[in-house]
Amino acid sequence: MIEYIKGTLVELNPAEAIIEASGVGYNIAITLPGYSALVGNEEKEAKLFTTEVIREDSHDLYGFVTKAERQLFELLMTVSGVGAATARMIMSAFTAEELRMLIATGNTKAMAKVKGLGSKTAQRIIVDLKDKALKLDLGGDPTELFNGDASLNDEMMNGVRAEAISALTMLGFAAQASGKAVDKILKAEPTLSVEGVIRKALTML
């Protein structure tokens, strides 16, 4: 197992990071909080704790800023009905601390809003992981999401729209449905950052 990858962050979008280490470029799937922590660090050194997900038709790397986030991701995948894609979706809809709080308080309703999860799976996550999730040390988590407060001009808003739709399609959503959701969100809250838009869209699609 690869414990972590440390190298130059050569490419970044809300769904993937490419880190070059020792002449090899690693394509690593990331969560939205991970993107938020890495944004602005392109061409600089970055380190992601990784977990490998191997299936018959694919061999994927998932990366996280902290070990605790990786542990939470791996815990989610131990729950029946939760695969890597769903686990990443959950951890993109909520920060690690928010997710732990939802599990601790048994908030099935909020968790079930994540695309493809459903109330039964959400309840199973809470029952299976409550004790384990509470033991994770998430102190100093640097990946809290933020919403931009600065006014955006049309060009910047178009950039936010395009990047959000691109990320949602990478996560498996249809481009047309993603576009409609993003447009609705930006119409209501035009100053949202890319991260904020994607996060809201994950509860709508």
Does residue 109 sit in the same domain as residue 76? yes
pLDDT given at position 173: 83
The token pair at 14 is 């809300």
Question: Is 17 contained in some domain?
Answer: yes
- Into how many domains does the chain fold? 3
Question: Is 32 contained in some domain?
Answer: yes
Q: The domain that contains 160 carries what CATH number?
A: 1.10.8
Measured CA to CA in angstroms, residue 113 lies from 79, 135, 191 at distances of 18, 25, 23
Question: Is 141 contained in some domain?
Answer: no
Does residue 73 sit in the same domain as residue 102? yes
Cβ atoms of residues 41 and 11 within 8 Å: no
Among 81, 105, 134, where does a domain finish?
A: 134
Q: What is the pTM of this model?
A: 0.69
Cβ atoms of residues 68 and 137 within 8 Å: yes
Q: The domain that contains 32 carries what CATH number?
A: 2.40.50.140
The per-residue b/e assignment along 146-172, b for 16 or more CB within 10 angstroms, e otherwise, is eeeeeebeeeeeeebbebbbbbbbebe
pLDDT given at position 158: 66
**CA nearest neighbour of 65 among 37, 100, 93, 95:** 37
Question: Is 144 contained in some domain?
Answer: no
pLDDT given at position 188: 86
Question: Is 41 contained in some domain?
Answer: yes
* Residues whose CB is less than 8 angstroms from the CB of residue 86 and which lie 6 or more positions away in sequence, other chains included: 76, 114, 116, 117, 121
Question: Is 93 contained in some domain?
Answer: yes
Cβ atoms of residues 9 and 40 within 8 Å: no
Give pLDDT tens digits along the chain (205 positions): 789 999 999 999 989 999 999 999 999 999 988 998 998 888 899 999 999 998 878 889 999 999 989 999 999 999 998 999 999 999 988 888 888 888 888 888 888 888 778 889 999 999 999 888 877 766 533 333 223 333 334 545 567 887 888 888 878 788 788 888 888 988 888 878 888 888 888 888 7
pLDDT given at position 157: 59
Among 19, 36, 64, where does a domain finish?
A: 64
- Domain of 48, in residue numbers: 4-64
Does residue 172 sit in the same domain as residue 128? no
Cβ atoms of residues 60 and 84 within 8 Å: yes
Question: Is 35 contained in some domain?
Answer: yes
Write out the H or E segment, with its range, that includes residue 163: helix 154-170
Among 36, 64, 92, where does a domain finish?
A: 64
Does residue 78 sit in the same domain as residue 102? yes
pLDDT given at position 149: 35
Does residue 81 sit in the same domain as residue 120? yes
Question: Is 113 contained in some domain?
Answer: yes
Does residue 96 sit in the same domain as residue 130? yes
Does residue 96 sit in the same domain as residue 58? no
pLDDT given at position 65: 93
Does residue 45 sit in the same domain as residue 73? no
